Amino acid sequence: MGAHGSIAVDLTLDCKGLACPMPIVKTKKAMEQIQPGQVVEVQATDRGSLADMKGWANTTGHHYLGTREVGEVLYHYLRKANPVEVKEEAAFPHTISNDELLARMNQPSIAILDVREPAEYAFGHIPGAVSIPLGVLLERLSEWKPNEELYVICRSGTRSDLACRLLAENGFTQVKNVVPGMAEWTGPIEQA
């Protein structure tokens, strides 16, 4: 067990250099190795991991304690929940494939929400997609109509899954997660 500043850490996880969804995948496995109440430190360089860690902890019942940033490295701290606090993690049930979205792109009223980080969006996004990173989505919900058909995309389907759940919890009824996401998108792309 190490002490990082004033934070007692039971397990340190090195996810530096890994892109979404790998920091979350490794964090899920690490949580199985520690006891309730223990703390894991996740070291990551993926800027999207901040929203990922917060969102994942919220949906599973584990406690997101906070993040420190030192240079390019984000140090995320999560406390494993007691068994009675743990929520069953289930994927958002309403999905659409990349190919199905591509086939619908000629519809005039299609709304695509890209929840990746601004740099990811800038280097390539679906034409017409609106960029709202997962970390600020809650504060920008008023930009969307709750009954609007909304296709949510990220790099791999993980952040967009969290975003879809957040939207549904806030009254959005026509939300679909685009899977597998931009990592395998073969349709048109534009750069900002």
E strand or H helix at 40, and its extent? strand 39-44
Q: What is the DSSP string of 78-127?
A: EEPPPTTTPPPP---S-EEEHHHHHHHTTSTT-EEEE-S-HHHHHT-B-T
Give helix 158-169 / helix 49-60 axis angle, nearest 10°: 50
Cβ-in-10-Å burial (0-12, 13-18, 19+) of 142 comes to exposed
In the annotation, is 15 catalytic?
no
179 three-state secondary structure? strand
For residue 186, which phi and psi values (nearest 5 degrees)? Answer: -115, 0
Q: Which of 15, 20, 154, 164 is catalytic?
A: 20
> What does the alpha-carbon distance between residue 105 and residue 108 come to, in Å, rounded to a whole number?
8
- Residue 110's CB is within 10 A of a number of other CB atoms, namely 15
For 118, the token pair is 């601004």
Active site amino acids: 20
